[in-house]
């Protein structure tokens, strides 16, 4: 389990890239994430830094809504690189891989491609899978 790290710094100062590059759609990487989850204090509560950036850009979201990273960087906090989902929807995606009878070797190959910075769309094309099959394979 990742360590939790609370920060009192302004979250904008934690981003390892200039704002012009970030506005172009690049990852906003927070180096402190290498040591575990970074929590931000806001309104007397601590929240995950990814959630803080999302809420800063799009407004509050209920606790029951999950943020799912769509980019390849585990250190990214750029809100446009996340989508929202529910736990039930995410579970459906994870269990879909098993239900689709995907070959375990193909799943490992897809995960390897994902670790090598290929997008889900690129992997889907290469494997001959749908986007849903690809996401399910990566999440399994």
Higher pLDDT: 23 or 44? It is: 44
* Ramachandran area for residue 33 (φ above 0: left; ψ -120 to 50: alpha; else beta): alpha
Short-list 121, 127, 84, 90, CA closest to 109: 127
| Percent with pLDDT over 70 in the chain | 74
| pTM value > 0.85 | no
Q: Report how far residue 22's alpha carbon sits from residue 43's, in angstroms, rounded to the nearest whole number.
A: 26
Collapsing DSSP to helix, strand or coil, 15 comes out as strand
Is the pLDDT score of 104 beyond 60?
yes
Across the range 107-130, mean pLDDT stands at 88
d(CA 10, CA 24): 22
How many helical (H) and strand (E) elements, i.e. helices and strands, does the chain have?
6, 5
- Quote the pLDDT of residue 1: 45
CB 67 within 8 A of CB 54: yes
Cβ neighbours for 123, distance < 8 A, ≥ 6 positions apart: 110, 113, 114, 129, 134, 138
């Amino acid at each position: 389990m990742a360590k939790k790290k609370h920060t009192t710094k302004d979250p904008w100062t934690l981003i390892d890239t200039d704002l012009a590059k970030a506005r172009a759609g690049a990852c906003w990487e927070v180096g402190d994430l290498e040591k575990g989850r970074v929590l931000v204090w806001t309104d007397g509560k601590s929240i995950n830094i990814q959630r803080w950036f999302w809420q800063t850009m799009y407004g509050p979201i209920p606790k029951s809504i999950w943020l799912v990273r769509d980019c390849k960087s585990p250190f990214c906090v750029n809100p446009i690189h996340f989508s929202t989902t529910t736990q039930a929807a995410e579970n459906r995606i994870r269990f879909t891989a098993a239900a689709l009878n995907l070959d375990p070797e193909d799943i490992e190959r897809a995960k390897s491609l994902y670790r090598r910075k290929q997008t889900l769309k690129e992997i889907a094309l290469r494997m001959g899978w749908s986007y849903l099959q690809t996401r399910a394979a990566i999440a399994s």
